[in-house]
Amino acid sequence: MLLYRSAMTTSENQWKNAVSSFQAPPSEGIAARAMAARQGGADYLARMNPEQREAVESLDGPVLVLAGAGTGKTRVLTTRIAHILATRRAFPSEILAVTFTNKAAREMKDRIGQLVGGAVEGMPWLGTFHSIGVRMLRKHAELVGLKSNFTILDTDDQIRLIKQLIQADGIDEKRWPARQFAGALDGWKNKGLRPADIPEGEARAYVNGRGRQLYADYQARLKVLNAVDFGDLLLEAVTLLKQNPDVLADYHRRFKFILVDEYQDTNVVQYMWLRLLAQGSHNICCVGDDDQSIYGWRGAEVDNILRYERDFPGAKVIRLERNYRSTSHILGAASHLIAHNEARLGKTLFTDLVPDEEEAKVQVASAWDSEEEARSIGDEIERFQRRGTNLNEIAILVRASFQMREFEDRFITSGVPYRVIGGPRFYERAEIRDALAYFRIVMQPGDDLAFERIVNTPRRGIGDTSVRTLHDYARREGVPLTEATRQLVATEEFKGKTRLALTDFLAQVDRWRDQLHAMKHTELGELILDESGYTAMWQNDRSAEAPGRLENLKELIRSMDEFESMEGFLEHISLVMDRDSGEEQEAVSIMTLHSAKGLEFDTVFLPGWEEGLFPHQRALDEGGRSGLEEERRLAYVGLTRAKRHCLIWFTSNRRIHGSWQSSIPSRFLDELPTAHVEIKESGSAYGSSFGRSNPYGQSRFDSVERFQSKYETPGWQRAQKAAQSAPRSSGGGFASPKQASYGRGAKLIEGELIAKSVVSGSAKFDKGDRVFHVKFGPGNVALVDGNKITVDFDKAGQKRVVDSFLEKA
DNA sequence: ACACCTTACCTTTTT
DNA sequence: GGTAAGGTGT
């Protein structure tokens, strides 16, 4: 903290310098100011369109900037800050600017730096909701019952803690999994509810009706541990401001301007926190896009943005609708799709770029199953690559992460470099968490969770029973585990090996703590990992991932170097979930639609547009209409990531939870405007060599077929089908490059696609029936369970399949 | 303490 | 169908 403050003052001076070279002080008269403005100041405004400019210049009172995808949202935000500084309305330290992710915060810092010139360390209040929450809490910790060096628990610690409380309460862990309660806890905290505030009904719905009690116990335990969880970073900050008017008044005086990024993602506590702070200057500017709200499931309230004008009376609403990213076809498709949502403020994106003949429409293609889908997309990507597209400009955006594997498999065999974005984060890996636990226990002897994590890692012969003994003692005496250990090894409680191991462990930790200020923190870090035997543990591990883990540990030490001290490092790591190390190698990106928000690519593939997967069945079941709308927003996010090419895929069959399901194309396909969409004939929909049944028989693309037959006679269709079922030349090649290349055989649909609800395969089957399956061939029915049929296939063995997929043979 | 077996899960994820 | 976590047995 001390470190932070000194950094602040020096850079405040930097800022003053930067600002004054930016624009002459007011006293020098209008002419001088105008001149200065022409040189530097006006520059940043001149490059904006009228709406952006209005968003930048409307400094007084609440403002909501509805910024559609690709309309220059970040640019407005950063320019607005530059403008505040240039017009000397506030010092950098008087601006509160919040984002959701560290990445966004970093980007904002960089871009402000570019605008104003120079590094932007001088904005101490630019950061994520959580990091700013921490900042406030550290400063006033004692007002909410904490010490300012409190620890921040991550989800893993949180769950272990809950588990302990559940056990201590003698509650059946199976019936009330800690994980589930952690979810409830998060939900409450996101809504700003403290134990006393949760609705009676909900309180009773958990842990044998003891939900409220457990929540309260958990909070009490956190206070004892001098710890907070992620939810508390905001909830406690709100509590702090609510209960201490003087503190709030202080912040009111400080923050002349408040800016909020991605407002559509804010939850209730974040909203409460912002409202409290905005009561000061009223100069709050929120930027967001209701159409890109895709985090409802983790507490985001679209309502926050929908209600803005009511919440902040007199708010000015500015719409940014001029899109600088995508072609008019992509924009047209996305806008038409999202127009099907009811709960939205309404915006229409447009581009000035005239649609060009060359410009590709959004393509829709189908595949037999996910394997073929991956293969076709892979082929397509290689074609793009041959035409000179940089692989970094290509992305595959999936709804669910299990879809990724098929692509990875395919890309590994075909040698297409790819990168998966999203997976487990660096800090979440076991070795990193272990290493951090070592550092934590050195820094904070009272960190029981850290103690437990590493007391027997690597194995020291301190098993569960010993830890339990320590635990009981610690609880009885009201001391941390470290202290309990210290006291108990002095007695006869532990014998022989265990006693020795504990004594040694304790001595080690003490020794490291003594070194804390005697050596550089990076060296100490290394020393700890070596002396504890932790490094050796992985060196001796012969498993495939061990070398990678050692590499990660090295990376961890390396990254410590960027921090002044161990404290600074731990603070950072507990809040920052960045996986860094951006390999710069050219590669296709594979990620979920969620993690694609905010990114853009020249070419975007959107596989898996099938009912049940996208929109996801669970979103429909649990979210109803609003669930569907959120899925639709996700589709909108996907489409609007594309700059020039957008290719949507669906398959006729997909294996879900082990059994094959025939799938129906997503309803979202019907919601695309035909004028901007092209149905791509991949050949594959016909192209199964098992093709006894026409996959189109189950698809709304029947209507397409009908349309096509105006041009192509039914006879042609039959011929086509016959040709496809004939043995194919290239090995497994259902879609030769010629066949599938753009513009060839592609059919334009002019009429609206009409959903054809297909109630397929209602035929009933009985045990013993001889059946035929499109994928597995002939077999006998072994068991009938509703529409799920277990069949003994002649070739493929026993499989459980859906009846719509079977024909009587 | 470790190896093996059974069972439950299976949407999205930042801080 | 595949995985991960938890439980049981040696």
Q: Which nucleotide is nearest to A180 (CA to C1')?
A: B9
Q: Which nucleotide is nearest to A421 (CA to C1')?
A: B13
- pLDDT given for residue A338 in this prediction: 94
Q: Is the pLDDT of residue A694 over 70?
A: no
Q: Which two tokens stand for residue A80?
A: 């607005």
**For residue A629, which phi and psi values (nearest 5 degrees)?**
-65, -35
The whole-angstrom separation of Cα A778 and Cα A770 is 7
The Cβ of residue A492 has, within 10 Å, a number of other Cβ atoms equal to: 8
Q: How does pLDDT run across A252-273, given as a tens digit for each residue?
A: 999 999 999 999 999 999 999 9
A173-CA/C7-C1' distance, Å: 14
Q: How does pLDDT run across A495-537, given as a tens digit for each residue?
A: 878 888 889 899 999 999 999 889 999 999 999 999 998 888 8
Let me know if A266 is a catalytic residue. Answer: no
| % of chain A exceeding 70 in pLDDT | 78
Q: Which two tokens stand for residue A474?
A: 């610690």
A138-CA/B15-C1' distance, Å: 17
Q: Is the CB of A644 under 7 A from strand C?
A: no
Surface-to-core class of residue A608, CB atoms within 10 Å of its CB (0-12 exposed, 13-18 middle, 19+ buried): buried
| % of chain A exceeding 90 in pLDDT | 44
Among the listed residues A189, A632, A641, A654, the single catalytic one is A641
Q: Which two tokens stand for residue A671?
A: 């919601």
Q: How far is CA A166 from CA A161, A170, A450, in A?
A: 9, 6, 19
- pLDDT given for residue A657 in this prediction: 81
Lowest mean pLDDT among A26-40, A149-163, A387-401, A547-561: A26-40
Q: Is the pLDDT of residue A118 over 70?
A: no
- pLDDT given for residue A145 in this prediction: 93
Q: Is the pLDDT of residue A160 over 90?
A: no
User: Which parts of A652-776 are beta strand (E)?
Assistant: 653-656, 659-662, 677-679, 747-748, 770-773
Q: Is the CB of A752 under 7 A from strand C?
A: no
A543-CA/B6-C1' distance, Å: 24
- Alpha helices, DSSP H, located in A140-210: 155-168, 178-190, 200-205
Let me know if A292 is a catalytic residue. Answer: yes
Among the listed residues A51, A157, A232, A262, the single catalytic one is A262
Residue tagged 């006006």 (tokens): A42
- Whole-structure pTM value: 0.76
Q: Which nucleotide is nearest to A655 (CA to C1')?
A: C1
- pLDDT given for residue A403 in this prediction: 92
Task: Give the contacts of A406 (CB within 8 A, at least 6 positions apart).
Answer: A370, A371, A373, A374
The whole-angstrom separation of Cα A548 and Cα A516 is 28
Let me know if A219 is a catalytic residue. Answer: no
Give one DSSP letter per residue of A483-502, joined into a string.
Answer: HHHHHHHTTTSS-HHHHHHH
Give mean pLDDT, residues A568-577.
Answer: 78
End-to-end CA distance of chain A: 76
Query: Side by side, which strands form the sheet with A95-99?
Result: A126-128, A95-99, A257-260, A284-288, A63-67, A316-320
Let me know if A74 is a catalytic residue. Answer: yes
Q: Which nucleotide is nearest to A427 (CA to C1')?
A: B15
Q: How does pLDDT run across A446-478, given as a tens digit for each residue?
A: 888 888 888 888 888 887 788 888 888 888 888
A808-CA/C1-C1' distance, Å: 26
Q: Is the pLDDT of residue A700 over 70?
A: no
Q: Is the CB of A495 under 7 A from strand C?
A: no
Sign of CA dihedral A401, A383, A650, A731: negative
Q: Is the pLDDT of residue A728 over 90?
A: no
Among the listed residues A14, A16, A74, A483, the single catalytic one is A74
Among the listed residues A121, A236, A261, A265, the single catalytic one is A261
Q: How does pLDDT run across A46-71, given as a tens digit for each residue?
A: 888 999 999 999 999 999 999 999 99
Q: How does pLDDT run across A615-634, given as a tens digit for each residue?
A: 999 999 888 888 999 999 99
| pLDDT interval class at A373 (50, 70, 90) | very high
- pLDDT given for residue A21 in this prediction: 38
